[in-house]
Amino acid sequence: MKKKAVNKTVGLLVVMALLSTLLAACGGSDKAEKEPEKSGNKEISLRVATSFAGSDPWVPVWTKAIQQFQDENPGVKIVDESTPVNQEALRTKVKADAATGNLADVLFYFNGSETAILADSNSIVSWEEEFAKDPEWAKQFNAGIVDKVKYDGKLYALPYIGFYEGLFWNKALFEQHNLEAPSTYEAFMKAVDTFASTDIIPFATSLTTPYLQEALILSQVGPEGQQQAYDPSWAPALNIFKELNEKNAFPKDSLTLDDDKAQSLFASGKAAMMFNGSWTAAGLSQDPDIQISPFPLVPGGKGEGVIVSGFGSGWYMKNSKDQEKYDMALKFIKFMTSPDIAGEFAAIGGTYAVQTKASENTAQLLVDGNAMVSAAKDFVMPIDSYVSRESYTQFLNGIGYVSAGRKTAEEVLAEAKKLNDKIQ
Amino acid sequence: MVNKMVRPALPQIFVYALLIFWASTTIVPLLWVLLNSFKSSEEILTQSFAWPESFAFSNYLKLNEYGNINIVKGFMNSMLISGSVVFGVALFGGLASFILARFSFRGKKYFTFLFVICMLLPQFAVIIPNFIIIEKIGLNGTYLSVILPQVAGNLSFAIIMMTAFMASLPGELEEAAVMDGASIWKIFYRITLPLCMPIFATVSIMVFLWSYNELLLPLVYLPIRDMQPISVLLSLVSNAYGTDYGAMMAAITISIIPLLVLYMFSQETVIKGLTAGAVKG
Amino acid sequence: MIFRDKRYIVLFLAPTILLLFTFLLYPLIQSVYYSFTEWYNFSNTKTFIGLDNYKDLVNDPIVGIALKNTLILILGAVFLQAGGGLLLALLTDSIKRGFKFFRTVFFFPIVISGTAIGLMFSLIYNYDYGLLNAIVRALGWSEQVWLTENSAIYLVLVPILWQYVGFYFVIFLTGMSKIPEDIYESAVLDGITGWRKSVYITIPLLRDVIASCLTLATAGALKVFDVVYIVTKGGPLNSSELLSTYMYAKAFNGQNAGYASTIVIAMMVLGIVITVLLNRLVKKEAVSY
C160 neighbors C69 (Cβ within 8 angstroms): no
Q: How far apart are CA A404 and CA C114, in angstroms?
A: 30
For C37, the 3-state DSSP assignment is: strand
- Domain identity same for A168 and A230: yes
pLDDT tens profile B173-220: 788 888 888 888 888 888 888 888 889 999 999 999 999 988 878 877
Which domain covers residue A386, as residue numbers? 164-307+381-423
Angle between the B108-120 and B144-167 helix axes, to the nearest 10 degrees?
130
Q: How far apart are CA A119 and CA A151, in angstroms?
A: 9
Those chains having 3 or more beta-carbon pairs within 8 angstroms of chain B are A, C
Q: What is the 3-state secondary structure (H, E, C) of B91-108?
A: HHHHHHHHHHHHECCCCH
Residue C256 touches chain A, beta carbons under 8 Å: yes
Those chains having 3 or more beta-carbon pairs within 8 angstroms of chain A are B, C
Q: Give residue A230's pLDDT.
A: 95
Q: Name chain B contacts of A77, Cβ cutoff 8 Å.
A: none
Query: In the predicted model, what is the mean pLDDT of residues B231-240?
Result: 76
Closest partner CB to A208 (pick from C12, C235, C254)? C235
B81 neighbors B229 (Cβ within 8 angstroms): yes
Q: Give residue A25's pLDDT.
A: 45
Distance from the Cα of A412 to chain C's closest Cα (Å) equals 13
Element (H, E) at A48: strand A44-49
Interchain proximity B160–C167, CB inside 8 Å: no
Q: Name chain A contacts of C249, Cβ cutoff 8 Å.
A: 393
Distance from the Cα of A18 to chain B's closest Cα (Å) equals 10
Q: Give residue C156's pLDDT.
A: 94
Within 102-131 of B, beta carbons closer than 8 Å to C belong to: 102-105, 111, 114-126, 128-130
Distance from the Cα of C41 to chain B's closest Cα (Å) equals 11
Q: Number of C-alpha atoms within 13 angstroms, CB side, residue A105?
A: 25
Q: Give residue A326's pLDDT.
A: 93
Is a pLDDT exceeding 50 seen at residue C72? Answer: yes
Distance from the Cα of A256 to chain B's closest Cα (Å) equals 15
Residue C198 touches chain B, beta carbons under 8 Å: no
For A286, the 3-state DSSP assignment is: coil
Is a pLDDT exceeding 50 seen at residue C11? Answer: yes
Is a pLDDT exceeding 70 seen at residue A219? Answer: yes
Q: State the Cα torsion A101-B122-C244-C258 to the nearest 10°.
A: -40
CA angle, A49 then A54 then A60, to 5°: 85
pLDDT tens profile A18-54: 444 444 444 334 333 434 444 445 688 999 999 888 7
pLDDT tens profile C106-133: 999 988 888 889 888 999 999 988 899 9
Q: How far apart are CA A331 and CA B29, in angstroms?
A: 50
Distance from the Cα of C145 to chain A's closest Cα (Å) equals 6
Q: Give residue B281's pLDDT.
A: 31
C213 neighbors C85 (Cβ within 8 angstroms): yes
Q: Give residue B127's pLDDT.
A: 81
Give, as one character, the DSSP assignment of residue C233.
T
Is a pLDDT exceeding 90 seen at residue A6? Answer: no
Interchain proximity B236–A54, CB inside 8 Å: yes
| Nearest residue in chain B measured CA to CA from C202 | B273
User: Does A18 or B247 have the greater pLDDT score?
Assistant: B247
Instruction: Give the number of B-C residue pairs with CB atoms closer than 8 Å.
Output: 298
Distance from the Cα of A76 to chain C's closest Cα (Å) equals 32
Q: Name chain A contacts of C128, Cβ cutoff 8 Å.
A: 201, 251-253, 265, 270
Give the distance from CA B154 to its chain's centroid.
Answer: 9
Q: How confident is the model at residue A185 (pLDDT cuts 50, 70, 90)?
A: very high
- Domain identity same for A222 and A293: yes
Query: Which of A83-97, A236-250, A348-362 is the least confident region?
Result: A348-362
Interchain proximity B127–A89, CB inside 8 Å: no
Query: In the predicted model, what is the mean pLDDT of residues A149-158?
Result: 90
Strand partners, B103: C3
State the first-to-last Cα distance of chain A, in angstroms, to the nearest integer: 72
Residue C122 touches chain A, beta carbons under 8 Å: yes
Residue A372 within a domain: no
Q: Give residue C113's pLDDT.
A: 82
Q: How far apart are CA C136 and CA C139, in angstroms?
A: 5
Name the residue type at position A118: L
Cis peptide before C27 (omega within 30 of 0): no
C26 neighbors C250 (Cβ within 8 angstroms): no
Q: What is the ipTM of this complex?
A: 0.87
User: Does B69 or A334 have the greater pLDDT score?
Assistant: A334
Distance from the Cα of B68 to chain C's closest Cα (Å) equals 23
Q: Name chain A contacts of C256, Cβ cutoff 8 Å.
A: 389-390
- Domain identity same for A179 and A226: yes
pLDDT tens profile A253-292: 999 998 888 998 999 899 999 999 988 887 888 889 999 9
Q: How far apart are CA B205 and CA C47, in angstroms?
A: 44
| Nearest residue in chain B measured CA to CA from A21 | B144
Q: Name chain B contacts of A80, Cβ cutoff 8 Å.
A: 68, 225
| Nearest residue in chain A measured CA to CA from B220 | A93
Is a pLDDT exceeding 90 seen at residue B230? Answer: no
Residue C41 touches chain A, beta carbons under 8 Å: yes
Q: How confident is the model at residue B102 (pLDDT cuts 50, 70, 90)?
A: confident
Q: Give residue A376's pLDDT.
A: 87
| Nearest residue in chain A measured CA to CA from C250 | A390
Is a pLDDT exceeding 90 seen at residue B152? Answer: yes
Residue A27 within a domain: no
C224 neighbors B122 (Cβ within 8 angstroms): no
Domain with CATH 1.10.3720.10 in chain B: 68-236
Query: Which of A117-131, B137-151, B265-279, C261-275 is the least confident region?
Result: B265-279
Angle between the C207-223 and B144-167 helix axes, to the nearest 10 degrees?
150
Q: How far apart are CA A33 and CA C88, in angstroms?
A: 51
Show Cβ contacts of residue C275 under 8 Å, excluding neighbours closer than 6 positions.
Answer: B116, B120, C214, C215, C218, C219
A 10 A CB-CB count for A220 gives 24
Element (H, E) at A352: strand A351-352
Within 69-98 of B, beta carbons closer than 8 Å to C belong to: 91-93, 95-96, 98
Q: Give residue C88's pLDDT.
A: 94
Angle between the A113-120 and A89-99 helix axes, to the nearest 10 degrees?
20
Is a pLDDT exceeding 70 seen at residue A167? Answer: yes
Q: Name chain B contacts of A96, Cβ cutoff 8 Å.
A: 128, 131-132, 220
Is a pLDDT exceeding 90 seen at residue C146? Answer: yes
Distance from the Cα of A5 to chain C's closest Cα (Å) equals 13
Q: How far apart are CA A47 and CA B94, in angstroms?
A: 40
Query: In the predicted model, what is the mean pLDDT of residues C21-42?
Result: 89
Residue A75: Cβ-neighbour burial (10 angstroms; 0-12, 13-18, 19+):
exposed
- Domain identity same for A177 and A296: yes
- Domain identity same for A202 and A186: yes
Give, as one character, the DSSP assignment of residue A90.
H
Q: How far apart are CA C43 and CA A120, in angstroms?
A: 9
Is a pLDDT exceeding 70 seen at residue A3? Answer: no
Closest partner CB to A26 (pick from B65, B68, B138)? B138
pLDDT tens profile C250-283: 887 777 889 999 999 999 999 999 998 888 887 6
Q: How confident is the model at residue A361 (pLDDT cuts 50, 70, 90)?
A: low
Name the residue type at position C104: T
Q: How far apart are CA B167 and CA B101, in angstroms?
A: 5
Show Cβ contacts of residue B97 under 8 Å, excluding neighbours closer than 6 positions.
Answer: B158, B159, B162, B163, B165, B166
Q: How far apart are CA C7 and CA C30, in angstroms?
A: 31
Q: How far apart are CA C221 and CA B223, in angstroms?
A: 29
Q: Give residue A34's pLDDT.
A: 39
Interchain proximity B129–C111, CB inside 8 Å: no
- Please state the φ and ψ torsions of residue C158, each to the nearest 5 degrees: -55, -60
Those chains having 3 or more beta-carbon pairs within 8 angstroms of chain C are A, B
Interchain proximity C15–B95, CB inside 8 Å: yes
Residue A397 touches chain C, beta carbons under 8 Å: yes
Distance from the Cα of A415 to chain C's closest Cα (Å) equals 12
Is a pLDDT exceeding 90 seen at residue C95? Answer: no
| Nearest residue in chain A measured CA to CA from C232 | A256
Give the distance from CA B152 to its chain's centroid.
Answer: 14
Q: What is the mean pLDDT of chain C?
A: 88
Query: In the predicted model, what is the mean pLDDT of residues A294-298?
Result: 95
Interchain proximity C41–A400, CB inside 8 Å: no
- Domain identity same for A244 and A287: yes
C218 neighbors C282 (Cβ within 8 angstroms): no
State the first-to-last Cα distance of chain B, in angstroms, to the nearest integer: 29
Q: CA–CA distance from A61 to each of A64, A107, A196, B68 (Å)?
A: 5, 17, 43, 12
E runs forming strands in A121-171: 158-159, 161-170
- Domain identity same for A177 and A192: yes
Residue C277 touches chain B, beta carbons under 8 Å: no
CA angle, C20 then C21 then C27, to 5°: 105
Interchain proximity C233–A208, CB inside 8 Å: yes
Query: Which of A228-232, C2-6, C218-222 is the least confident region?
Result: C2-6
Strands B238-239 and A351-352, by their bridges, are unpaired
B210 neighbors B155 (Cβ within 8 angstroms): no
| Nearest residue in chain B measured CA to CA from A60 | B67
| Nearest residue in chain A measured CA to CA from B184 | A8
Query: In the predicted model, what is the mean pLDDT of residues C229-248?
Result: 91
- Domain identity same for A196 and A272: yes
Q: How confident is the model at residue A362 (pLDDT cuts 50, 70, 90)?
A: low
Give the distance from CA B76 to its chain's centroid.
Answer: 17
Give the distance from CA C55 to its chain's centroid.
Answer: 28
Q: What is the mean pLDDT of chain B?
A: 83
Q: Give residue B206's pLDDT.
A: 92
Burial B210-245, CB ≥16 within 10 A → b, else e: bbbbbbbbbbbbbbebebbbbbbbbbbbbbbbbbbb
Show Cβ contacts of residue A51 under 8 Å, excluding neighbours closer than 6 positions.
Answer: A82, A83, A84, A85, A90, A108, A109, A313, B239, B240
Q: Give residue C283's pLDDT.
A: 64
Give, as one character, the DSSP assignment of residue B52.
P
Q: Name chain C contacts of B170, Cβ cutoff 8 Å.
A: 288-289
Query: In the predicted model, what is the mean pLDDT of residues A352-380?
Result: 80
Q: Report the CATH fold assignment for B68-236.
A: MetI-like fold (1.10.3720)
User: Does C89 or A286 have the greater pLDDT score?
Assistant: C89
Distance from the Cα of B67 to chain C's closest Cα (Å) equals 23
A 10 A CB-CB count for B91 gives 17
A406 neighbors C271 (Cβ within 8 angstroms): no
Q: Give residue B68's pLDDT.
A: 62
- The structure's pTM equals 0.85
Instruction: Give the number of A-B residue pairs with CB atoms closer than 8 Å.
Output: 152
Classify C70-239 by CATH class: mainly alpha
Q: Number of C-alpha atoms within 13 angstroms, CB side, residue A170?
A: 26
- Domain identity same for A319 and A294: no
What is chain B's length? 281
Q: Give residue A38's pLDDT.
A: 43
E runs forming strands in A111-196: 158-159, 161-170
CATH assignment at residue A168: 3.40.190.10
Is a pLDDT exceeding 60 seen at residue C285? Answer: no
Residue A152 within a domain: yes
Q: Which of B207, B117, B214 is nearest to B162 (CA)?
A: B207
Q: Give residue C41's pLDDT.
A: 72
